Amino acid sequence: MSRNLMSIVLLLFVLTQSFHRSVTKKKIIVVWQPSHQTDTGKDFSEAATCGAIIDAAMKTKPKYKEYKVWSLGKSEYHHADSGSNTKISHTTAIEEGKISGYAYELQESNKLHPTVFIAVHNNGGTKRNAVWGYIHYGDKYEAENRELAGRLAKAISVAVGLEDRGVWLDSTTGRNDYRCQVTGKLSFYSLDENINTAPYRVLMEIGDNAISRELLISEEGRKKIGEAIKRELAAWIAEKL
C-alpha cells in the first residue's frame, strides 16, 4: 500500500471516529435533579449544597445536553422547598390545586427525554461520613443503574474521602408511604419508572448533614464532588452508550 493511500485510510478512520463520538455526544441528554430541601438539618440547606454540587458537575467537561430541574423558590408548587421524595403527600398529592415540587421537576425532566437522570441529596441521622447510591427496584435497567450508581459512589469516595456504602434499592429504606405502581414496594418517587421516563436513573445520598457538614458546606468540597461525578459519568457513558 502506498504512503499516500495509507495516509488517506488513516485520515478517514480518524474522521469516522470523531464523527461517531460527536453523534453519540449529541444524542446524550443528562438531567440533574438537586434536592430542593431547605429544612433537613440545623443551619444547613441541602438545596444549596446539592445545587452547588450539580453546578460544578455541569461545568465539568465533557459537556452533553444537560439540564437542571429544580422547584426551589417556585411558590406555584407545594413543597417546592421542602418535603420527602418518599411521601405521597409531598409528591403525587394535589394541594389547593397545586402539584408538588417533585411532580414539577419530573414533568420538566420527562419533556427533555433524558438518557440519564441523576438526583443528588444529602443524608441525615446516619452517623456516617459516607456516600450511598440508590436505584429503583425491579425495572428493566436495574443492573445498569446499579453499575452507574456504584461507580459514582466510588468516584465520590475517592475524591473527598467519604466511606463508600455501595448501592441500595429504594425499596429497602422503609421510608414513608410512596409505593411503586408495579411492584407495590416502597419507592423513591423520582426513580419510579412509572414517573420517570429516563432509562438510566440514580439517586446519590452524599454525606450526612451533621457528620459531613464541613465538607458539604465548603466550596472546595462541593466542587470536587461535582467534578468527580461528571468524570465518572462521562467514563460510564463512553463505555456503555
Taking only the tens place, the pLDDT of each residue in 21-69 is 444 556 999 999 999 999 998 889 999 999 999 999 999 999 999 999 9
Contact 112, 67 (CB under 8 A): yes
DSSP-assigned letter for residue 177: S
pLDDT at 19: 39
For 236, the enclosing helix (H) or strand (E) is helix 219-240
Grouping H, G, I as helix, E, B as strand and the rest as coil, residue 63 is coil
Q: Which domains does the chain have, with CATH numbers?
A: 29-240 (3.40.630.40)
Q: Provide the residue type at 35 as one letter.
A: S
The mean pLDDT value of the chain amounts to 93
- Spell out the residues 6+ positions from residue 103 whose beta carbon is closer than 8 angstroms to its own: 77, 91, 92
The cell numbers describing 202, all together, are: 440514580
| Nearest-10 Cα torsion for 8, 14, 19, 21 | 170
Tell me the pLDDT band of 8, cut-offs 50, 70 and 90.
Answer: low
pLDDT at 186: 96
Estimate the crossing angle of helix 219-240 against helix 142-160, to 10 degrees. 140
Tell me the pLDDT band of 178, cut-offs 50, 70 and 90.
Answer: very high
For 135, the enclosing helix (H) or strand (E) is strand 130-135
Does position 17 have pLDDT exceeding 70, yes or no? Answer: no
pLDDT digits (tens, 9 = 90+) for 156-173: 999 999 999 999 999 998
Q: At CB < 8 A and 24+ separation, what contacts does 138-146 make?
A: 138/171, 138/180, 138/182, 138/183, 138/185, 139/182, 139/193, 140/193, 140/199, 141/199, 141/200, 141/201, 144/199, 144/200, 144/240, 145/200, 145/201, 145/202
Strand 29-34's sheet: what is its strand order?
65-68, 29-34, 116-123, 200-208, 130-135, 163-169
> What is the rounded distance in angstroms from the CA atom of residue 65 to the CA atom of residue 63?
7
**Prior bond of 62 cis (ω within 30°):** yes
pTM: 0.90
Backbone angles phi, psi at 124, to 5 degrees: -155, 150
Helices (H) and strands (E) in the chain, counts: 6, 6
